[in-house]
Amino acid sequence: MFGSTKASYYLSFALLAGCLWLSSCQSIDLYERVVSIPKQEWQSSFKPQFKFSIRDTAAAYQVYILLRHNEKYEFNNIWVRLYAQAPGDTARLFSLELPLANNDGWMGTAMDDLYDHRIAVTLDPAIFNFKKPGEYTFTLEQIMRKDPLENVLNVGLRIEKKP
């Protein structure tokens, strides 16, 4: 009996490992990276950079800006500059106001006193698109009147294929 339990344990482990291996071979049409803000004070001079590759230029993509702050964040929005650079091109500048709260409170998902936001961003296709294969570089800069911007823990970027 001990031998069969041990054998079934190894078989279960082998099946799980095989499933994980097979699922890791599938292409995920997604890029996501989050950067920690030093001392939870986003200095305007701190400009996180995100690099990712696009191969499928026929697909449409959705850009999201990710932001985590605590309950002490004192504004209901954040203004950022997004510098978007396609392969072999110059960077394009987008100034974006990202809403974080409305009359009902914070709009992101909450966990204790932390709030996570995933905000869809529309980039004007006449100015910028993903029509060249290769490495893209996006840079984020906070442009609020307060510098440093306190109580911001993380900022990030998510790129995913639209269905």
The angle at the Cα of 65, spanning 57 to 158, to the nearest 5 degrees, equals 45
The fold of the 29-161 domain, in CATH, is: Jelly Rolls (2.60.120)
The verdict on pTM exceeding 0.85 is no
Taking only the tens of pLDDT, the chain with its 163 residues reads: 445 555 444 444 444 444 444 444 444 468 999 999 999 999 999 999 999 999 999 999 999 999 999 999 999 999 999 999 999 999 999 999 999 999 999 999 999 999 999 999 999 888 899 999 999 999 999 999 999 999 999 999 999 998 8
Q: Where are the domains of the chain?
A: 29-161
User: Taking Cα atoms as reference points, which of 8, 7, 32 lies closest to residue 160?
Assistant: 32
Burial class (CB in 10 A: 0-12, 13-18, 19+), 2: exposed
Q: How many CA atoms lie within 13 A of 162 on its CB side?
A: 12
